[in-house]
Amino acid sequence: MASVHHFRTAFRGFNREDVVQYIEYMNNQHNAKIEKLNEQLAAAQAQSADPELLARLEAAEARCAQLEAQLGAENAPVTTSEEELEAYRRAERTERLARERAQQIYTQANAVLADVTVKAESASNQISAIADQVHAQLEQYQQSVSATKDAFQEAVATLYTIRPEE
């Protein structure tokens, strides 16, 4: 009875090593069956020299050869050049898809950068306006502090002039 074999999936197909191992496994099983049948044939020939059994044996061998030919045709491995061509096609498709995806990402990134640039310029303009306001207010506060300081100095000078001397 044939065993169920699960191939690991790879990008766009099956894992190549799994497939190669499976083919080798099936080939080894096939060779083991052939060896077993040959051993049985040799044992049967050694046990019997009966012409009727020999005729049946020859018919069985012919049938075995026919089945081996069918099995060989069904399980003919893909040639190396076909495997390479298919791998090249898969690689080409993968590269094309990667280029398309990179272009999409590039376009999206440019759109985001353009949006961020507009927002940064707007924020910069707002910050400049606020900085100008703060600078104007700071100058007003400095003038107020300076005027207050001058007023205090005049008041102190006036107090010194008013004060009676002892």
Query: Could you read off the pLDDT of 58-100 as tens digits, one per residue?
Result: 888 888 888 888 777 666 555 568 888 888 888 898 989 888 9
Average pLDDT, the chain: 82
Domains contained in the chain, number: 1
Residue 150 within a domain = no
Nearest residue to 12 (alpha-carbon basis) of 77, 81, 75, 97: 97
The pLDDT score that the predictor gives to residue 85 is 85
Residue 54 within a domain = yes
Bridge partners of 13, per DSSP, are: 10
Nearest residue to 19 (alpha-carbon basis) of 86, 93, 96: 86
Residue 51 within a domain = yes
Residue 12 within a domain = yes
pLDDT tens sequence across 132-162: 999 999 999 999 999 999 999 998 888 888 8
Which strand (E) or helix (H) includes residue 14? strand 13-14
Determine the structural domain holding residue 50 and report its residue range. 1-77
Nearest residue to 13 (alpha-carbon basis) of 99, 102, 89, 73: 89
Residue 159 within a domain = no
Residue 132 within a domain = no
> For the whole model, what pTM was predicted?
0.35
The pLDDT score that the predictor gives to residue 82 is 82
